[in-house]
Homo-oligomer: A and B are copies of this chain.
Amino acid sequence: MTIGEANREALRRIQAGTATLVGLRPAREVVPGLGERTVLHAGPPVAWERMCGPMRGAVIGASLFEGWAQTPGEAIGLAESGALSFDPCHHHRAVGPMAGIVTPSMAVYLVRNEPFSAEAYATINMGQGKVLRMGAHDASVLERLQWMNRELAPLLDDALRRAGGVDVASLIARALTMGDEAHNRNTAATSLLIRALAPKLATTRQGDVERALAFMGASDSFFLNVAMAACKATLDPAHGLSGSTLVTAMARNGTEFGIRVSGTGDRWFTAPAPKVQGLYFPGYGPDDANPDLGDSAITETAGLGAFALAAAPAIVQFVGGTPRLAVETTERMYEITLGEHETFRIPALDFRGTPLGIDVRKVVETSIVPVIDTGIAHRQAGVGQIGAGLAEAPVSCFVEALEAFVAGLPARA
């Protein structure tokens, strides 16, 4: 296969994929290779010693939640002792926003891509304020974690099963006509998901359904994790195609930014995590910010997020800039992508499909790097989100990936 053919096949697989949210299960039951003291995290591999503050905070919170430790000090001791196995979510068909911590007792969404028998996982979004993904781990966080995983998850699972699942790809396509870009803005998608499930949730016989529906509706980010699992489920079948230069994952662990490319297998190409340009909440500024963090760049990799920014003009109130900048960002991303999404379309661009399929060659040729919508976490564990903005992927990852790709090509006859 030529590079062109391999890339066409990679793109075809993404376009032919589906994403159906079918239920939730404790991670230990479904996530492959998740040993009992395994901690999955966002981004490329990173050891405890090099983890950023928010990710360490989330590891502490997860250890308390799992009962592996009784105090933050004990949790730190456990991590330092080497008793925990750290591994990227991406190595286990999972994705997580910000710190992206997944441990065995956490419930995960199951998103299925039927035509390719693929499945991907993500935990439930905790909402705003003090949340595990930003490194918070106080009593309120632990209480919410317990409730989400022991009460909310079975209730949602029951509703999803009785609803026959939810077509996430269609829901995202609709949300793009409603001002979402499915990464930093999930206002419409969260509302549509509640609208779809409310009839079934209202007739559940288990748990505190008023709290469940109020919790789902309290934060516009509720849908984000579902969107991420959907993107992962549709991108994975495009991975591992010999000869393809299509990027199948972009992810950050808060220390490093990494990408994986279809034709270079499971290797990560990394660079220091970039700073985020954006708007800060009152009282915070760039000196407080952790570098870019999270698996949520899977949305940009799948043609959403900043790649669909033109669909979400209102987002500039949250990330900075102007509606014109939003349009220009999407337009620029067409320069480095292999195609246009057939399902995700932008009304304001005359229903043009979003830019889909980042080509490492185009990034290197044009020096145009992928733009990523993102939240900004405080660099210290426990503080939480302090802003939101845009980050630029480091070009060196793409250069390195292209070099490795070329080095791996068979010698010409």
Contact = CB atoms under 8 A, between A and B. Distances in A.
Contacts of A209: 199, 202-203
Contacts of A313: 177, 347-348
A104 to B, nearest CB: 30
Q: List the 4 closest A-B pairs by CB distance, nearest first.
A: A191-B191, A313-B347, A177-B314, A202-B202
A206 interface: no
Contacts of A200: 210
A192 interface: yes
Contact of A191 (B188, B210, B347, B348): B188
Contacts of A350: 322-323
Contacts of A177: 179, 187, 313-314
A217 interface: yes
B199 A213 contact: yes
Contacts of A201: 198, 202
Q: Is the interface of A mostly helix, strand, loop or mixed?
A: helix
A289 interface: no
Given A191-B188, A313-B348, A348-B348, A198 B179 contact: no
A217 B199 contact: yes
Contacts of A322: 350
A209 B195 CA distance: 13
A192 B191 CA distance: 6
A202 B191 contact: no
A383 interface: no
A198 B217 contact: yes
A314 B217 contact: no
A207 to B, nearest CB: 11
Contacts of A347: 179, 313-314, 316, 323
A76 interface: no
Interface string A230-271: 000000000000000000000000000000000000000000
A196 interface: yes
A205 to B, nearest CB: 12
Interface string A325-337: 0000000000000
Contacts of A211: 199
Interface in A198-229: 198-203, 209-211, 213-214, 217
Contacts of A399: none
A194 B188 CA distance: 12
A201, A211, A348: most-surrounded residue (chain B CB, <10 A): A348
A178 interface: yes
A174 B185 CA distance: 13
A314 to B, nearest CB: 4
A196 B213 contact: no
A191 B347 CA distance: 19
A209, A314, A316: most-surrounded residue (chain B CB, <10 A): A314
A198 B200 CA distance: 11
A316, A322, A323: most-surrounded residue (chain B CB, <10 A): A323
Contact of A202 (B174, B192, B213, B314): B213
A198 B187 contact: no
Contacts of A317: 351
A110 to B, nearest CB: 23
Contacts of A349: 323
A197 to B, nearest CB: 9
6 contacts: A174-B187, A178-B187, A179-B347, A194-B198, A203-B210, A323-B349
